[in-house]
Structure 1
Amino acid sequence: MEKYRVPAEWERHYGTITTYPQAYETFFDRLENAKNTFVQMIKLIAEGEKVFINVNDENTREELENKLKKADANQKNIQIFINPTNDAWCRDYCPIFVKNSQIKALKFRFNAWGNKYPYQLDDKAGRKITEFLRIDRIDIDMVLEGGSIDINGKGCLITTESCLLNPNRNPDMSKEEIEKALKKYLGVEKILWLGEGIVGDDTDGHVDDITRFVKEDTILTAIERDKSDPNYEPLMENFNRLKSFTDTSGKPFRIITLPMPDPVYYRYPHKDEEERLPASYANFYITNKYVIVPVYNCKQDEVALDIIQKIFPDRKVVGLYAYDIVVGLGAFHCLTMQVPA
């Protein structure tokens, strides 16, 4: 296979792939609100790039078109495909797009975060989308979710041991074999390993909820200041690891810290008590024009937005209230996958 690389998310996009929230079993009584938040997100993305949306059927397509029209979204930049899915989190079942002189789609296997939920439609939809977009696809016999890795576009990839080394993903692969595969397929030279993710994250610790590359030499990472909070220790341990990491030329990264929001809870209909949700500001999505950040109506919102705005002076940072989306255990980054220009 010829040498490709994964562009960083802040590099120019051709467009964004996403999936309309449709499953009651994901969003429960917040589904209608989640759909409306989704439409706000699409309106923003479509101002600066194309948006490709998966829906289950013709009725859902009509419903979504009506909502987009009502929101005055730029429909010239929006294409809706009937491409049935189990769930909305297309970051994880979409291909990862690589480029050199052309764009290719690497379709890794998807098993719903270690066989936790039904996933056959998702895995199929991830392949089908490449046919709609007419992008050549390479199928890879390895489980890998897009939200489990982050890449700086200059040879470094960051991930977590709790997710990529979990036996529910690739039980027959050692850490060394996983590293070798990531380097081979994604064109990276260096793998940076963090420990665990945050409480409430059913993906076994996706890195896009905690730590993100924001420039080639800069990493933004969530930390919890309250020592009694269960997120305090794992996030502090990750922060300490980050301070020892270097890029491909041996230079340390600049590390910027991001606060955690106040704990966010939801009582699922089939549960006896409220559960903590994986609410984080790190699950933002970088578009050509905006950085779309999940916010939770708490005092840390403004602090987080200000930190992120300083990092991206060429884009407008927009906070969207994300509670109804996070009930489904993801946020705006989980909902999207960028296609490079």
Structure 2
Amino acid sequence: MFSLCKSHRTDNEAAGAASTPGVEGTAAKELRMGAEWESHARTFMSWPALESVWGEDLPYVREDIARVARAIADYEYVVMMARPDQRKAAQKACGRDVEVIPLEVDDLWARDTVLVFVEDDGEGTLLITESSIVNDNRNPGKSRDLIEAEIKQTLGIKKVIWLAGVRGQDITDAHVDSLVRFTAPGVVLLDRAHPDTPPDSWSHASDQAKAVLSKATDAEGRPFEVIDLPQPDLYEITGEGDDFVSTYANFYVANESVFMPKFGDREADKRARSILQEHFPERDIVQVRIDTIAAGGGGIHCSTHDEPGKPVD
């Protein structure tokens, strides 16, 4: 069986309608991963634990994670996993509306490490980046055909659409949840690089993805509706760093809400919020500052994982 959960530094991410590292999709009728916009019982998160990973930024990334947890807790139950010796500090930072449980976690990337939930029924379409999944740092020695067959069997997928992604230009080899996200069956938001983005940036993976999606159909034979989700101007954002992920596509859909980054480019932040509101008209769109998380190569979706089901009271 190929690896679905390893470290954030080498794995792909879930996105949109999926809840599994490396894939973006809605699963088939035999088994399915609930679409992220369906009801959640709770959200799981993970407390950043190691100074060896974050160095002097550890206090700041903890502030970001606590800020995200408090925001989501206004809409659904949040469980924060933290090392036993860090539990008290995490609870203080997150507030009483977040349940903090003792668990030997290493880092904040809950999307890579929390259990994957599958159930009956679904739409059957999955999007995936080859650069991240068909990669020896994740699934050594496994071919694309083998990986696809095992994903279909495990998750009940009927159709896989492969996107090229890009290798070596970011620490994730182009996780799909920073590239393209479902907002409804057959409807996706596609990250688009700012015009001033260097031509060798991972962000230009969207050019190939758009070409593929414009010709593809989903498992039900529907052509994709692809809507651009433009990035901010890197000269206007408040964050910085070589690994900074400036995509709005790494948003998280929770009960009655959507959580997206706020990068500091006022025009771009406003435009992205408007696009998400158009596609989730009955949900509150909540912008959260996550500069340190983004500087570490991730986003809000990377740091959360939903459990489907009836909301916890």
If the length of structure 2 is used for normalisation, what is the TM-score?
A: 0.81
CA distance in 2, matches of 1:256, 1:156: 18
1:3 Cα shift? 3.3
Aligned to 1:142: none
Q: What does 1:239-258 correspond to in 2, within 5 Å?
A: 239-258=210-229
Q: Quote the sequence identity (%).
A: 30
Give 5+ residue unaligned stretches, structure 1: 102-152, 268-273
Aligned to 2:117: 97
CA distance in 2, matches of 1:62, 1:302: 36
Match of 1:296 among 260, 263, 267: 263
CA distance in 1, matches of 2:194, 2:71: 32
CA distance in 2, matches of 1:186, 1:163: 18
Greater relative contact order (Cα 8 A, min sep 6): structure 1 or 2?
2
Q: What does 1:125-164 correspond to in 2, within 5 Å?
A: 153-164=122-133
CA distance in 1, matches of 2:52, 2:286: 28
Aligned residue pairs total 276
Contact 1:219 1:256 in 2 (8 A): yes
- Is 2:253 the partner of 1:281? no
Aligned to 2:30: 3
Give 5+ residue unaligned stretches, structure 2: 1-28
Deviations 1:235-271 (CA, angstroms, capped at 9, x unpaired) = 212111111121112110111110012237978xxxx
Amino acid at match of 1:79: E
Aligned to 2:158: 189
C-alpha RMSD over aligned residues: 2.3
Deviations 1:14-45 (CA, angstroms, capped at 9, x unpaired) = 11111012322333333223222222211222
Match of 2:89 among 36, 40, 63: 63
If the length of structure 1 is used for normalisation, what is the TM-score?
A: 0.75
CA distance in 2, matches of 1:266, 1:313: 29
Amino acid at match of 1:33: Y
1:276 Cα shift? 4.3
1:166 Cα shift? 1.1
- Is 2:56 the partner of 1:29? yes
CA distance in 2, matches of 1:321, 1:198: 28
Q: Which structure would you say has the larger Rg?
A: 1
Label 1:276 to 1:40 Cα distance change in 2 as closer, same or farther (>3 A).
closer
Aligned to 1:208: 177
CA distance in 1, matches of 2:64, 2:140: 37
Q: Which has the higher strand share?
A: 1
Amino acid at match of 2:210: F
CA distance in 1, matches of 2:146, 2:168: 28
